[in-house]
Amino acid sequence: MQGFSVDDVLYIHFFASWSLGHEVSSNTALLSHFSRWSAITGKHGMIILEPHAAEEIALTNQKISHLDLLCLLGQRPLVTAQTFLKSAAEVGLFPNVKSYVKCPLDLPFANVTIGHYMKRTFYVRQANIDDIAKLLELEKLCWPENLRASETTVRSRISKYPRGQLTLCRGGEILGVIYTQRLEHKDLVYKFNYLHRRLSFRRWSVFTATCCE
């Protein structure tokens, strides 16, 4: 259209994962969906209203929303808010934290979110074993020798809790990394150093942990 630029458009998107149907269970399908939107998102970004599947913590506390029931009845699977945000971040789409809203407001999980997403020059993805060499290089750049994580420690972090180890990238190059783990209780931070906390980590902590470091 003459005189019209996609960069001047503010896109409004409803139920992004809903439109994928059963393909939403495939991370590749969700990433492909976001990639197409990222390619046309301009300076005004896009507003996304999205219903989400129940988080593990909601299932543990038996907090199932009417949206989950509707999706089950309509055979329209959804993704959790965590999965949705990580997929958007992998293609460089990030919500403005000042305008990001989740519902319910008073619980530690989200059934619905609405956010104003902007396209950035960087993206965030999950770390993997192939990144080890670069991650060890970052350890050398950022920490004195006595504080650096060993290759064994880095490998353990990725293998035990892969979704909690995230890299910041630009143009295929890793610029930074954040390592996290789930803890049973925040008091563990004060009682043990991170190595002892890591050794006490169990798979079930992902579902029952009350905090993340």
Q: Is residue 84 pLDDT above 50, yes or no?
A: yes
Report if residue 190 sits inside a domain: yes
State mean pLDDT over 204-209: 47
Q: 206 with 164, same domain?
A: yes
Q: 154 with 196, same domain?
A: yes
* Per-residue model confidence (pLDDT) at position 56: 54
Q: 170 with 98, same domain?
A: no
Identify the domain boundary among 68, 91, 120: 120
Identify the domain boundary among 101, 120, 139: 120
Q: 10 with 114, same domain?
A: yes
Report if residue 1 sits inside a domain: no
Dump pLDDT digits (tens) for 100-141: 999 888 877 788 899 999 999 999 999 999 999 999 999 999
Q: Residues 71, 72, 73, CA angle at the centre, nearest 5°?
A: 90
State mean pLDDT over 13-38: 71
CB 52 within 8 A of CB 112: yes
What whole-number percentage of the chain has pLDDT above 70?
Answer: 66
Q: 30 with 98, same domain?
A: yes
Q: Is residue 191 pLDDT above 80, yes or no?
A: no
Q: 107 with 68, same domain?
A: yes
Q: 166 with 88, same domain?
A: no
Q: 142 with 173, same domain?
A: yes
Q: 70 with 172, same domain?
A: no
Average pLDDT for the chain = 78
Q: Which domain holds residue 14?
A: 6-120
Q: 203 with 144, same domain?
A: yes
Please state at what angle helix 27-40 crosses helix 81-90, rounded to 10 degrees. 50
Q: How far apart are CA 137 and CA 90, in angstroms?
A: 22
Give 12's pLDDT tier (boundaries 50, 70, 90).
Answer: confident
Give 93's pLDDT tier (boundaries 50, 70, 90).
Answer: very high
* Per-residue model confidence (pLDDT) at position 160: 86
Chain Cα centroid distance, residue 150: 25
Report if residue 198 sits inside a domain: yes
Whole-model pTM: value is 0.78
Q: 106 with 142, same domain?
A: no
Q: Is residue 207 pLDDT above 50, yes or no?
A: no
Q: 13 with 114, same domain?
A: yes
Composition of the chain by helix, strand, coil, percent to 5: 45, 20, 35
Q: How many domains does the chain have?
A: 2
CATH code for position 170: 3.40.630.30
